[in-house]
Chains A and B, each alone.
Chain A
Amino acid sequence: MRSALLAEYRKLVTTRIWWVLLIAMAGYLVFIAAAIAASFAFAPADGGSVPVGEEAARTTYSVINSIGYVFPLVIGSLAMTTEFRHKTITQSLLVEPDRTRFLVAKVLSVVPVGLLAGVVGVLAVLLGGAPLLALQGDGAYLADRDVVMSLLLGVVAIALWAMIGVGFGTLVPNQVAAIVVILAFTQFVEPVARLALSQVDALSDLANFLPGGAADALLGASLFAADGGDLLPRWAAALVLIGYAIGFAALGRLTTLRRDIG
């Protein structure tokens, strides 16, 4: 297992795509966090449902997950789909014919890059959001326990997304298809579904089990549930996310990785 892990880790870091995506993620999150912080900081005092104080800070920083999760998902899925796209899967399975071990090693191998992406993401949302909140809003709350916890869990969430990405890439090994589905789901399907579901009382709980909803619950803050309250407890949210990672990976193992290679 050690050697399989090392091999998978080397596969990731000997290509350039992951740090290209990290730079894109950082740039995107600085911009989004600044925009959100501005909308809170410059909101009229009687702005109704606009979060204030510590909640404004946490909600701003939570874009690392609600907006940034597409990047670790893509990084993770690429780790698997490039194997199929460039047919390196052949050589990979020649040296590791145990396909379950191969898959587990690949899921675990993205954790370091996932954590790094989490740290980059946290720095980006702080860089984009904190100055505006501090100067124009109610403060950046960087010493607040809840805010710090939320930021740390943001790092964990991003690493989990990378693992989910590997599982998803195994289920959908066609690289283009995997990226299209990830972009469509994260940028359109899930946000719309969460908004729509939250309008219907009977279905609002369902939104919490969508992967993005669960991850927001892990952070304890969400753009989509800014009025707060109806997110899952953190432990449940973590289980839901881990469930997605294991679920996708298991389905991929039973489909893609059971087939003949080549």
Chain B
Amino acid sequence: MTPPSLVVDGLTKQFGPLRAVDDLSFQVRPGAVTGFLGPNGAGKTTTLRMLLGLTRPTAGRTLVGDRPYVDHPSPGRVVGAALEASSFHPGRTGLGHLEVFAPQVGVSRARCRAVLEAVGLDHAARQRVGGYSMGMRQRLGLATALLADPPVIVLDEPTNGLDPEGIKWIRGLLRQFAAEGRTVLVSSHLLREVEASVDDVVIIAQGRLRHASSLTALREQASPATYVVAPDAAALADLARSHGWRTVPERDGLVVDGATAPEIGAAAYRSGLELHELTRRDVDIEELFFRLTRATPVPPPAASPPPATPPSPGPAPLKGDDR
């Protein structure tokens, strides 16, 4: 059986005067890791809580496969979720915590031990959670999510509080889940944290969808950047100005936004400008993310044409397009 997709359809949540989630629609496909991205307060956690039946939407609906989460006979077996890294009773041991939730997802105590081992906490099984570090709590949260070996995995900010080694470990796990065909949704307020592990991105800000596509399609929207060093800095600045390139001084040279190395090389050659360095910079996807999630979204730079339809296999928005 194919793991279920997740569907968010016209989802809206009003908290008093605040519209936390505003007519949000997207889908999450199996066999891939989808990054659910947006700045803090964008409505990510509220959306996940509505998806998991903890919070009631003001309007719209969410589906796990063919029905809402709460309508599954044993939803904990279908979706493994880790929402808050600190939601443990401090007096319970790590193993005790898992054993508490084991009956309702239908797993044995042996499975609790196995999962604890899988997340690298077997040494702390009998230790009270109150003494756990933030990273250990993240691992325990993940162990809780994985208890029933579920086809769908939803993690809210799983890299918070993890050391670099832990972040690398999470990345590997996420890739492994996707390779196993599971549906994986991971939220983060930092695109860079998940960039290495996601296939698709859903970007929201102020409760609204700003972008949904594959990561590749997002990268194509990002403007190229090139680092240039010329002995005659003034002439280089003039050249950039005459072409309308945005520049940022860096060390001895300039970072030119919106132009590729061949473009700059050709322009410099034509105007007889001597260059000492011409280096392609990685596409600044974080900058694009920043732009997409700004209070008032601005359209992507004209240099790269915005896709008319979200390229498959990205998650297709049900309604509307990039805003």
Contact = CB atoms under 8 A, between A and B. Distances in A.
Interface in B236-255: none
B105 A15 contact: no
Contact of A86 (B53, B54, B90, B102): B90
A49 interface: no
Given A17-B91, A87-B87, A261 B106 contact: no
Contacts of B88: 86, 88
A143 interface: no
Interface stretch (B24-32, B78-86, B167-175, B193-201): B78-86
Nearest to B90: A86
B20 to A, nearest CB: 11
A165 to B, nearest CB: 18
Given A88-B87, A97-B69, A3 B104 contact: yes
Contacts of A95: 75-76, 101, 104-105
Given A10-B99, A93-B54, A262-B54, A3 B93 contact: no
Nearest to B53: A97
Contacts of B102: 7
A88 B89 contact: yes
A94 B76 contact: yes
**How big is chain A's contact interface, by range?**
20 to 34
A35 to B, nearest CB: 33
A6 B102 CA distance: 9
B100 A10 contact: yes
Contacts, number: 86
Nearest to A8: B100
Interface in B56-71: 56, 69-70
A260 interface: yes
Main secondary structure of the interface of A (DSSP, over half): helix
A91 interface: yes
Interface string B22-56: 00000000000000000000000100010011111
A236 to B, nearest CB: 37
A2 B101 CA distance: 13
B59 to A, nearest CB: 15
A208 B144 CA distance: 48
Interface in A221-262: 260-262
A3 to B, nearest CB: 4
A136 B28 CA distance: 78
Contact of B93 (A7, A14, A262): A14
Given A15-B89, A87-B86, A94 B106 contact: no
Contacts of A96: 76, 104
**Chain B, interface size: which category?**
20 to 34
Nearest to B69: A97
B16 interface: no
Contacts of A17: 91
A21 interface: no
Given A86-B89, A91-B144, A261 B105 contact: no
B323 interface: no
A94 B89 contact: no
B83 A90 contact: yes
Given A87-B86, A91-B87, A94-B81, A262 B100 contact: no
Interface string A71-85: 000000000001000
Task: Give the interface centre of A88, A93, A94, A96 by most chain B CB atoms within 10 Å.
Answer: A94
Interface string B91-119: 11100110111111110000000000000
A242 to B, nearest CB: 27
- Residue among A6, A11, A95 with max Cβ neighbours from chain B (10 Å): A95
A16 interface: yes
Nearest to B82: A91
Nearest to B89: A86
A4 interface: yes
A85 B106 CA distance: 26
B100 A7 contact: yes
Given A4-B104, A262-B49, A14 B96 contact: yes
Interface string A185-204: 00000000000000000000
A252 to B, nearest CB: 17
Contacts of B55: 260-262
Given A86-B88, A88-B89, A90-B84, A260 B54 contact: yes
Given A10-B103, A14-B100, A94-B52, A262 B92 contact: no
Contacts of A261: 49, 54-55
Interface of A: 2-4, 6-7, 10-11, 14-17, 82, 86-88, 90-98, 260-262
Given A94-B83, A97-B69, A261-B54, 10 more contacts: A3-B104, A4-B103, A6-B103, A7-B103, A90-B54, A90-B84, A91-B144, A93-B53, A94-B76, A262-B55
